[in-house]
Amino acid sequence: MKLFEYQVKKIMREFGILVPQGEVFFDLEQAKNHLEKVGEGVVKAQVLTGGRGKAGGVKIFSNPAEGFKLAEAILKMTIKGERVRAILIEEKIPIEQELYLSIFVDGRIKKPVIIASKAGGVDIEDVPEEEILKLPVDPLIGVRNYHGNIVAQKLGLSGDLGKQLTALLINLYRIFETYQAELVEINPLVISREKLIAADGKMTVDDDARFRWPGDLPFNEEKTPLEKRAEEIGVSFVELDGNIAVMANGAGITMATLDLIAYFGGRPKNFMDAGGGANAEQMAKALDLLISTNPRAILINIFGGITRCDEVAKAYLTVKQQREITVPVVIRLVGTNEDIGVKMLQEAGVESFSSLREAVIKAVELARVGGDN
**CB 153 to other proteins: min, Å:** 5
* Residue placing its CB nearer to other proteins in the complex, 30 or 282: 282
CB of residue 21 vs other proteins: minimum separation in angstroms? 31
- The residue among 187 and 254 lying less far from other proteins, judged by its C-beta, is 254
β-strand pairing of 244-248 with 268-273: parallel
Identify the H or E element spanning 320: helix 309-322
CB of 158 to other proteins, least distance (A): 6
Is there a binding annotation on residue 98?
yes
Q: Annotation-wise, does 187 bind a ligand?
A: yes
Angstrom distance (rounded) from CA 243 to CA 246: 10
Supply the angle between the helices 309-322 and 280-291 in degrees, to the nearest 10.
Answer: 50
Helices (H), 234-277: 251-263
Residue 44, marked binder: yes
Q: Cα separation of 70 and 67, whole Å?
A: 5
Say whether 166 counts as a known binding-site residue. no
Q: Which helix (H) or strand (E) holds 33?
A: helix 28-38
Minimum separation from the CB atom of position 160 to other proteins (A):
10
CB of 344 to other proteins, least distance (A): 18
Residue 273 assigned as binding residue: no
Q: Is 109 annotated as a binding residue?
A: no
Report whether 239 belongs to an annotated binding site.
no
Contact 88, 138 (CB under 8 A): no
Taking the least distance from each CB to other proteins, the nearer of 111 and 343 is 111
AA identity, residue 83: R
Tell me whether residue 63 or residue 224 sits nearer to other proteins (CB atom).
224
Q: Distance (Å, rounded) from C-alpha 282 to C-alpha 230? A: 10
| Comparison of 94 and 211: residue with beta carbon closer to other proteins | 211
Convert 192-236 into a string of H (helix), E (strand) and C (coil): ECCEEEECCCEEEECHHHHHHCCCCCCCCCCCCHHHHHHHHHCCE
Does the annotation count 179 as an active-site position? Answer: no
Catalytic-role residue among 5, 185, 311, 338: 185
C-beta of 30 vs 220, nearer to other proteins? 220
**What are the residues binding other proteins (CB under 8 A)?**
105, 107-108, 110-112, 125, 138-141, 144-146, 149-150, 152-153, 158-159, 162, 177, 180, 182, 206, 208-209, 211-212, 236, 238, 240, 248-256, 258-263, 268, 273, 275-277, 303-306, 334-336, 356-357
As measured in angstroms, the least distance from the Cβ of 148 to other proteins is: 9
Candidate list 6, 100, 173, 316, residue with the active-site label: 100
Distance of alpha carbon 198 from alpha carbon 10, whole angstroms: 11
In single-letter form, the type of residue at position 359 comes to: A
Is 222 assigned a ligand-binding role in the annotation?
no
40 noted as active-site residue: no
CA 243 to chain centre: 25
End-to-end Cα separation, the chain, in angstroms: 35
| Phi and psi, residue 162, nearest 5° | -60, -45
Neighbours of 153 (CB within 10 A): 14
What is the spatial distance between Cα 59 and Cα 92, in angstroms, rounded to a whole number?
10
Report the catalytic residues.
100, 185
Binding site: which residues?
44, 51-53, 90, 93, 98, 187, 200, 249, 305-307
Binding site for ATP: which residues?
44, 51-53, 90, 93, 98
Binding site for substrate: which residues?
249, 305-307
Binding site for Mg(2+): which residues?
187, 200
